[in-house]
Chain A
């Protein structure tokens, strides 16, 4: 939220650029905390997950009759719940500072659904790192890696207004851009089905890949018969 406050204060003049989609940088930038928050929450929770592996807590759970995949779903479900709570908080803060969703109340619900899928993607990748390494440091080390993707996305500028060719290209191939743009479309544009489809596709792909990797790592980690 601090980053949002700094950016929306300092970059308000960017809204005067020809073709900028809104006259409120706060509304434009509100999409960033949704993605960044999901990222932060899942990394922090997965650090705890790695600690559970280090301390043997996962072994305690593995000794119960509960199936391994249920343990993983429980972990991911908890992370998605945290992400939804955060998303509601960001919506309330945005509302308090005058941001009104162009997509209305239905858009707010769609945004929460999108947030769940985005959080699942990051959570699954974080869980994979935790299960693969069993190291809190390794999971913490993922955060800067993910953050690079966030900074090299369209988080601060619409892609069509990015002047540097290389940056525009990187932002275009970076899936995080589509997550940000899908959230942003609900805030400032209304129902942009193309942006939503791309956002859900990117988040869904991240989730599928992350879940497959973490499920594989779970069975390798548990090794139980």
Chain B
């Protein structure tokens, strides 16, 4: 039974007509009850992967099973087992929240008293009871996302796909959604496949993270494991006199390898020892007569992991590619 909540993919590929290979041979396994964060910049292939795993898009090559069913051969069975909130909260502005729930519930074959009870239960759970009879055009972005989540849950799915569920939300709405997703996994054993471009989201919410870039998974593991494997802390120093930048670099390079991507006037090194001694660094700088205006120590982040694997920072790295791949999740024109 437990095994049936898992997601597995082997060599999953999706090519688009006149387009790049959006997903280029992905292997992954998501355990039952796990929250798997699929992290990557815009255009990396996250949404295309979700579309394939939710049966909306057939893979060009490779195999995948969701809830124990083949996504190509057993599409209807997969759809019965999963719930999905895709990238855009696709809601009709002229329907109310309750009407959306009624439509979605009916289409899953739930009717009568069960429909009413399930709708009320979900509206309460996502905090939309008071707004249930208001038209969607009056909803905030956070309310739409919460309704979208409720719609994905009407038929009690065992696996939940959330495609960038918090993009564009304020901090409060984002946190509320995190709490609900965490509760679903912990209390109800729902397996969650969550795509995100937010480092913090993956770090806070996901049990395991897969980092995707250019259609390929470049790193996978728990956030802690990935960070500890890839990098130790980074020290960033800003000299009071910009002319002393070279001198600062000379001192810091004794403690590690210089790294880029920090402030324009600063010098940063990734410490060669995981527990680099900040006191020694300060003493060495002082001994060389360098005056600093700022000294910071940065703990490794998932962005460091992305940087180490791709040579680019995650935030903003997709923007230059986005234009060419923005239709990645669109089916090929017929």
Contact = CB atoms under 8 A, between A and B. Distances in A.
Given A56-B87, A57-B91, A223 B108 contact: no
Nearest to B91: A57
B88 A55 contact: yes
Contacts of B133: none
Interface stretch (B72-80, B178-186, B196-204, B303-311): B72-80
A162 B113 CA distance: 63
B301 interface: no
Contacts of B108: 64-65
A222 B56 CA distance: 7
A47 to B, nearest CB: 14
Contacts, number: 65
B109 interface: yes
A220 B58 CA distance: 11
B86 interface: yes
B56 A224 contact: yes
Contacts of A57: 90-92
Q: How large is the interface on A (under 10, 10 to 19, 20 to 34, 35 or more residues)?
A: 20 to 34
B104 interface: yes
Contact of B75 (A61, A131, A225): A225
Contacts of B56: 59, 62-63, 222-224
A217 interface: yes
Given A64-B107, A221-B334, A56 B55 contact: no
A66 B109 CA distance: 9
A78 to B, nearest CB: 13
Given A59-B86, A65-B79, A223 B107 contact: no
Nearest to A61: B107
Contacts of A66: 107
A224 B334 contact: no
Contacts of A56: 86-88, 90
A51 to B, nearest CB: 9
Interface string A186-225: 0000000000000000000000000000001100111111
Interface of A is mostly: helix
Contacts of A159: none
Given A217-B334, A221-B331, A224-B55, A63 B84 contact: yes
Interface in B29-84: 54-58, 71-73, 75-76, 78-80, 82, 84
A125 to B, nearest CB: 16
A163 B72 CA distance: 61
Contacts of B107: 61, 64-66
B334 A225 contact: no
Q: How large is the interface on B (under 10, 10 to 19, 20 to 34, 35 or more residues)?
A: 20 to 34
A60 B76 CA distance: 14
Contact of A63 (B73, B79, B87, B91): B79
Contacts of B75: 224-225
Given A65-B108, A225-B58, A55 B90 contact: yes
Interface string B90-121: 11100000000000100111000000000000
B141 to A, nearest CB: 14
B267 interface: no
A223 B55 CA distance: 8
Nearest to B88: A56
Nearest to B82: A63
B151 interface: yes
A40 B56 CA distance: 32
B153 to A, nearest CB: 12
Contact of A65 (B90, B91, B109): B109
A220 to B, nearest CB: 3
A129 B108 CA distance: 28
A132 B331 CA distance: 11
A64 B100 CA distance: 13
A64 B76 CA distance: 8
Nearest to B52: A225
Interface in A107-162: 131-132
Contacts of B90: 52, 55-57, 59-60
Given A223-B58, A223-B331, A65 B80 contact: yes
Interface of A: 52, 55-57, 59-66, 131-132, 216-217, 220-225
Interface of B: 54-58, 71-73, 75-76, 78-80, 82, 84, 86-88, 90-92, 104, 107-109, 151, 331-332, 334
17 contacts: A52-B92, A55-B90, A57-B90, A59-B56, A59-B86, A60-B86, A60-B151, A63-B79, A64-B104, A64-B107, A66-B107, A220-B334, A221-B334, A223-B56, A224-B57, A225-B55, A225-B78
Q: Which 4 A-B pairs have the closest CB atoms?
A: A220-B334, A225-B75, A56-B90, A64-B107
Given A60-B104, A216-B334, 14 more contacts: A52-B92, A55-B88, A56-B90, A63-B56, A64-B79, A65-B79, A65-B107, A65-B109, A66-B107, A221-B331, A223-B58, A224-B79, A225-B55, A225-B75
